[in-house]
Amino acid sequence: MSLRVVRAEVPDPPLSLAINPDLATRYLVAFLRDEIVRKRGMDRVVLGLSGGVDSALSAYLAAISLGPERVVCVRMPYRLSSQSSMDHARLVTESLGTQERTVEITSMVDAYAAGANPDDLRLGNLCARCRMAILYDVSMEIGGLVLGTSNKTERLLGYYTWHADDTPAINPLGDLYKTQVWSLARHLGLPQAILDKAPSADLVPGQTDEGDLGVPYDVADRMLVHIVRGAGRERLLGLGFSREQADLVLRRHHRTHWKRHLPTNAVLSSTAVGVGYLRPVDYTG
């Protein structure tokens, strides 16, 4: 007797970028306390405050979690940085009451750039890596951890500087798409000037993140929420996205996968660190 297999058509589960901002806030605040205080025995953090919504949100979450007096926000302008970015960063520290420092990185960057003649992309990467080096030095000074500010959209599209934005000790925003960052930022009452501004690396006048990416964040996020669950080009087209935008986002996601692994080690044994030897931070042994 043969059996006939009947395959029922199961519709795709609804995918949404909507979040419960109150629940998300409570979780992220508890996450920071658990990771910083309980697991690592520290009680303070340092972060780079650019004047954008991502770093501002990280600062707000840290201040709620640890207390503003235990949060050091560092403004690190380069000579091409806009005054508005400095002013917006000041809005954050004034509204929260966190510690604030300003470290001008122009001489640090230009000392190397004078002989290397970097283009805009290399110069931006150089600035980002210098800033992260400064944050880690400050973290040693204060006996704290470097807090990250990169969101999930940037990470999935590879839109960040390798060994800079992706190397904090802890990142509360790493699983929040950019549109979810805005949602949470509005919920927490971030300054309106920061909520309204176009995201930008603030290196070249007129540069914007969405201009670099070639697609608006809300469109990219709506595609990525399907891509991370296995959707390909035809599926995205069936959902109504244009061929140009689908190809652009898929290409960026696929071609930057290597950036999400630090570092890629040759495996010669069954105990390779990060492959065969996996030990969580809270391992008690």
Q: What's the average pLDDT block by block, 10 residues per block, for the chain (285 residues)?
A: 44 73 97 95 97 97 98 97 95 98 98 96 96 98 97 96 94 97 97 94 81 94 95 96 97 94 86 81 57
Three-state secondary structure call for residue 72: strand
List the one residue out of 92, 43, 40 whose CA is nearest residue 65.
43
* Residue labelled with tokens 């992309």: 121
Q: Where are the domains of the chain?
A: 21-208, 214-261
Using an 8 Å Cβ cutoff, are 66 and 32 in contact?
yes
Calculate helix-pair angle for 53-66, 21-32, nearest 10 degrees: 60
Tell me the C-alpha distance between 40 and 73, whole Å.
Answer: 20
pTM exceeds 0.75 for this model: yes
Other CB atoms closer than 10 Å to residue 63's CB: what's the count?
23
CATH of domain 21-208: 3.40.50.620
Rounded to 5 degrees, φ, ψ at 137 are -70, -45
